[in-house]
Each structure stands twice: as C-alpha cells, then as structure tokens.
A and B are shown apart, each in its own frame.
Chain A
Amino acid sequence: MDLIVCLKRVPDSAARIQVAADGKSIDPAGVEHVISPYDEMALEAALQLREKHGGTVTAVSLGPPEATKELRQALAMGADKAVLLKSSGGARGPQGTAVLLADAIRPRPHDVVLFGRQSIDADNAAVGVMVASLLGIPIVTLATKLEFAGGAMTAHREAEGATEVVEVRLPAAFSAQRGLAEPRYPSIKGIMTAKKKPIEESEAAPPSAAVSVESLELPPVRKGGRIVGKGKDAVPELVRLLRAEAKVL
C-alpha cells in the first residue's frame, strides 16, 4: 500500500500571533513551528497502515525552505520519503495549494492520500477535498478510524452528531479528525536514520492572483474582566445581567 501524507508547517497552537511588517502575514519572530496537529495524526495513521499492510509512506509539504524541519520530523517518526515543494511565500488560497500538491502526487503511486482535517493556521479544511477532486479520487473527511480489507477501506467519519461508517475502494483520500491516531514520538534510532534520508526538493510555482490577502489584523481585544461577585451569592446578579444587559437569556 503506497501512502502519501500531506503535511503543513504551522505556528504552534500555543503561539501568540503578531502581524508582520508587511501588514499581510504572521510575524515569524519568536513563533515555534510544528507539523499541523491533524496532519500529524494523518501521518500516524499512515504509519500504522503501512505497519499492518506493508508499502511506503511519503510525506509531502508545500512550504518555506524551513519546512525541512517538519519533514525531518516526519522521517524520524517513520516516513520513508519526504518531498518539499519550496514556496517563497504569498497567498495562494486552498485552490492554489491543492493544484501544486495534486501535481506532485499524481505521478507517484498513491493508494491512500491522507490529510489533516484542516491546518490550524489557515483553518480552511479545504485542501484535502480539493486535491482528491483534482486527482479524481474519492475522499472521506473527518475520519476517526480506518480499516483496510479486501481492497476497500472502511472509515468511521464524524458527521453531525453521528458516526458514519463509510466504505470506499482505493485509491482514495482521507482527512484525519482527532481520535484517528495518537502521533508517536520519534525514537532515537528514528531521529538518527532521518538525518540520512534525503528530502526531495523542488521550487513551487509562484501564486496566482485569484486570491489575495489585503491585510492581516488582530481581533479586537475583548473588554472582559468584569467580576460580578464571589461564590454562589453572585448568581442572581449574574442571571439578571445576562437577561437585562447581555440579553442572551
């Protein structure tokens, strides 16, 4: 089974976000980057499928040259190959990203293509669906369980208030929802081996003008901090405020 996992380098969820001098992007100063958490779950699921059914796991990332760090991490966790589509930045929108990823995946063997449900920076939840569409393969999003038997994958999918059990023949794509797989820590041996594995690099085409970021701003600071009172005696006043002032009850 040949598995491809798309990974994105993103600011860590604990990072405080500031706007860069260009007014359009995130200031990278002091920001720790990681593999987007859902992508990491997708990678873990790919590794587990390979361990059960054999095959290869290839990690593909579209990102800046620094994303070699995240690809090294993927190799250390156990991916066989890594591919970096080097981007010099600029907004592409999910469509622009998906076209580049699909072009990189198409010539490679791919029984299973995995994504995180969404990146935790762009929050589009779109690239996986778009890549699948461009490759002409079906996708099951929000997968919390994957089981392969008899040429078909059975996925549990977190739909609205229920779990769908979905069967699909390969090749197919899946996006990982929390619960699919808990990412492993790389072993020392894994880290050592990863240093020697090559990362295949190519220059990504510059973005088109279909989508552009005009500006980036921080959300208005909430004027919080009003303490209604202490302990349960404050409850009647809280309820009064919620009804009379906030008008939410």
Chain B
Amino acid sequence: MGAVCAFLETAKGKLKKSAAEVAGEGARLARALGGPLDVVLAGKGVTPLAAEAAKLGADRVLVADADALASFTIDGHVRALAKAIAASSPKLVLLAASVVGKDLAPAVAAATSSPLLADVVGLGVKDGRIVARKPICAGKAIANVSAQAPLAVVSLRPNVFAPQPPDASRSAPVEIVDAGVRPDEIRTVIRQVLAKASEKLDLTEADVIVSGGRGLKGPENFHLVEKLAEAAGGVVGASRAVVDAGWRPHEEQVGQTGKTVSPKLYIAVGISGAIQHLAGMRTSRCIVAINIDPEAPIFKVADYGIVGDLFEVVPALTEELRKLRET
C-alpha cells in the first residue's frame, strides 16, 4: 500500500518541469503520511523515462505505456491512472494543475468518488486529514481547506512547489501497468494539431513573463515587449484591455478572467494594474513595473518600479539584459 501516488507529466520524450515539483511534494507528503511514494508515467514510449523518474525520490515507478496514450486524452489517461491507483492504493493522488492535470485530476476524482483539492499552493497533513491552501478569486483570497476521505486528489499549482533535485544514485523498481485501453475506445478523437508558429511555453509554466498593456498605444508596438521577453528569457503576457481590443491573442491574457501566473519575474509594461489583473499575477516572486503614471496602482504591488516613458525604458532594459546574456 502506498501513501502517495504522483502522476508525472511527460512531453516529447522528457519529464516535464512540473514532474520534479510534483515528485518533490509527493516525497514530502509520503514521509508525513508514513508510507512510500509511487510515481506514475503514462504515454506512448515513456518506459525509458522510468530511471529518470526514480531519481526524483520515487520508491516505485508505475509505467503505463500504450498506443492509446500517445496523445493526452481524458478517456485514455484516466484509465491508466486509475489502474495505477488501484496498484498503489494511496491515501493521496498528486498531479500538476497544468492544462493536462486540470483535465485529469477531476476525472480521476470523479472516477474514484474522491474529493479534489484543485490548484493548491500549500499542502500538509493535520490529524490525518489532508489540508491545503487554495487561492480563490484568482488569489484575492486564500481558503484553508481540508479533505476527509480515504483517498484525496490534489493538483498543485505549477511554479509554486520546490522542485526535487534529481538524486543520480537513486533507483527504484519499475512496475508495468496495463492501461487496458485501446485507441478505438477514446471518444475524443484528435484529428489535427494546429501548432503555433513558435513553440511557446504556456504562461502558467514560464519563469519570466513580460506583459504589455494599453500604455503601448497600439499592437504595432508590442515588438518592444516581445524583444524584452526574449532578452529576459521569458514569454509575453497581456492585460485584459489589450486582449479585448484585439491587439493580442486571448491565451496571453493575465488576470482573473485570463491566466493566473506566479513566475520568478513578472515585468508589467504600460499596465496600470486593475484589480482583476493584480489578482492574476500578485503571487509572482518579483514584480517590476514600468509606467509613465507614478500614481498607477501597479506600483503598489511592484517590488521595483521605474516611472517613465516605456518607449525609452523598455529598449534600454532590453539592451542591458542582452549584454548580460552575452557575458
């Protein structure tokens, strides 16, 4: 019987960044619950990753490797994970609250009639109950929640939990799990994948985000934000105002009706800082604001602010960061 069963995501033959976060938290919770950590890999051709997964603190690696799992689908992956859970009999199932995890966690909770604590930023065990800190209203408030059940499913907000450093000397037994699902049983058929021009990282998983707002005056000036993001090794975000105006695609929107992000560094360019925007980025580790209006609310939450014309400040900052990267 396991204490924690942690689902590790893979992509393109590698463990995703979230895997080390989920495994690290899994190892910690397994110790608190006094049992082992099982980690689960599910996909097509994921078996070779078992050794790497073991290095993240696993006591056992459960692998579901099947053609039907080639692409992520709820139908396929929930069967695989349910089989792994049956093999592990854990008290706690952990996943990342990523795009994949947000599909899989509730499906697994429903399939096992278990309570779900979704997108949590803190996790622990208190008097035998699983307790968690769960932001609501995009982080305008934090609920301290608990689950009372033989099995609880918890998804962890990406970029919040400390990643487990790999232990090169560690190995763990590998157990093959028969997902028991054929490709023709997947009811949602992926006919086509329309790739974006660039292989952009999702905002919620980025370490650095540079967001632009109405201060940029028009979509044609967003190249300033793009170049700064590139120099800072980050991705581009946007305020609701500029998404509503059609300057930027909706998937870049940061805020309560967009994405909630917690990067290491968040640079707000020409964004005044409406309540709903602040709600979506206030948990960033370091916030920088560049705005011409010294009274802009964004400066109240920014760790560092520069009051000034973004059309001068942003190119100067881009140049400075480029120099830094070259040295």
What residues of chain A have their CB less than 8 Å away from a CB belonging to chain B?
A: 11, 13-17, 19, 26, 37-38, 91, 93-95, 98, 120-130, 133-134, 138-142, 154, 156, 158-169, 172, 177-179, 209-219, 222-232, 234-236, 238-239, 241-243, 246, 248-249
Asked, given contacts A120-B138, A212-B148, A227-B299, whether A242 binds B316 with beta carbons under 8 Å apart, the answer is no
Indicate if the CB atoms of A26 and B253 lie closer than 8 Å.
no
B201 to chain A, nearest CB (A): 7
Indicate if the CB atoms of A160 and B187 lie closer than 8 Å.
no
- Chain B's closest residue to A229 (CB) is B306
Indicate if the CB atoms of A227 and B306 lie closer than 8 Å.
yes
Indicate if the CB atoms of A238 and B116 lie closer than 8 Å.
no
Indicate if the CB atoms of B142 and A219 lie closer than 8 Å.
yes
A-contacting residues, B289-327, CB 8 Å: 294, 299-309, 312-313, 315-317, 320-321, 324
| CA A241 to CA B320, docked complex, whole Å | 13
Indicate if the CB atoms of A130 and B106 lie closer than 8 Å.
yes
Partner of B102, one of A126, A162, A238: A126
B44 within 8 A of A: no
Indicate if the CB atoms of A95 and B116 lie closer than 8 Å.
yes
Q: Which of B23-31, B160-168, B172-180, B256-264 contacts the other chain?
A: B256-264
Q: How many A-B residue pairs have CB under 8 A?
A: 276
| Beyond known contacts A134-B110, A212-B145: 18 more, CB 8 A cutoff | A13-B276, A14-B275, A14-B276, A15-B137, A94-B106, A123-B138, A123-B260, A126-B106, A133-B110, A154-B191, A164-B190, A164-B193, A166-B189, A217-B141, A223-B303, A227-B299, A227-B305, A234-B306
Asked, given contacts A26-B141, A166-B191, A210-B149, whether A161 binds B201 with beta carbons under 8 Å apart, the answer is yes
Residues of B within 8 A of A17 (CB): 137, 140-141
| CA A98 to CA B118, docked complex, whole Å | 14
B35 within 8 A of A: no
Residues of A within 8 A of B15 (CB): none
Indicate if the CB atoms of A129 and B103 lie closer than 8 Å.
yes
Residues of B within 8 A of A229 (CB): 306-307
Which of A141, A161, A162, A164 has the largest number of chain B CB atoms within 10 A? A161
Indicate if the CB atoms of B275 and A16 lie closer than 8 Å.
yes
**10 A-B pairs with least C-beta separation:** A126-B106, A133-B110, A231-B308, A232-B316, A138-B187, A129-B106, A165-B192, A178-B250, A17-B140, A13-B276
What would 20 A/B residue contacts be, using CB atoms closer than 8 Å?
A123-B136, A123-B138, A126-B118, A128-B106, A142-B99, A158-B99, A159-B72, A163-B193, A172-B188, A209-B148, A217-B141, A222-B282, A226-B302, A226-B304, A227-B305, A230-B307, A235-B320, A239-B321, A246-B265, A249-B265
- Chain A's closest residue to B325 (CB) is A249
Indicate if the CB atoms of B98 and A160 lie closer than 8 Å.
yes
Residues of A within 8 A of B285 (CB): 246, 248
Asked, given contacts A217-B144, A231-B312, A235-B306, whether A124 binds B115 with beta carbons under 8 Å apart, the answer is no
- Chain B's closest residue to A130 (CB) is B110
Residues of B within 8 A of A15 (CB): 137, 275
B105 within 8 A of A: yes
Residues of A within 8 A of B300 (CB): 222, 224-225
| CA A213 to CA B78, docked complex, whole Å | 27
B230 within 8 A of A: no
B131 within 8 A of A: yes
Residues of B within 8 A of A121 (CB): 136-137
Indicate if the CB atoms of A248 and B264 lie closer than 8 Å.
yes
| CA A130 to CA B285, docked complex, whole Å | 33
Partner of A239, one of B190, B299, B324: B324
B107 within 8 A of A: yes
Indicate if the CB atoms of B111 and A133 lie closer than 8 Å.
yes
A32 to chain B, nearest CB (A): 12
Asked, given contacts A141-B102, A219-B141, A231-B306, whether A169 binds B187 with beta carbons under 8 Å apart, the answer is yes
Residues of B within 8 A of A122 (CB): 136
B85 within 8 A of A: no
Partner of A248, one of B75, B106, B195, B286: B286
Asked, given contacts A13-B256, A37-B257, whether A238 binds B99 with beta carbons under 8 Å apart, the answer is no
Residues of B within 8 A of A160 (CB): 11, 98-100, 202
Residues of B within 8 A of A159 (CB): 72, 99, 193
Asked, given contacts A166-B189, A211-B146, whether A125 binds B118 with beta carbons under 8 Å apart, the answer is yes
A-contacting residues, B266-282, CB 8 Å: 274-276, 279, 282
| CA A158 to CA B195, docked complex, whole Å | 10
| CA A127 to CA B243, docked complex, whole Å | 27
Indicate if the CB atoms of B313 and A222 lie closer than 8 Å.
no
| CA A14 to CA B279, docked complex, whole Å | 10
Indicate if the CB atoms of B146 and A214 lie closer than 8 Å.
yes
Partner of A120, one of B119, B195, B256, B313: B256
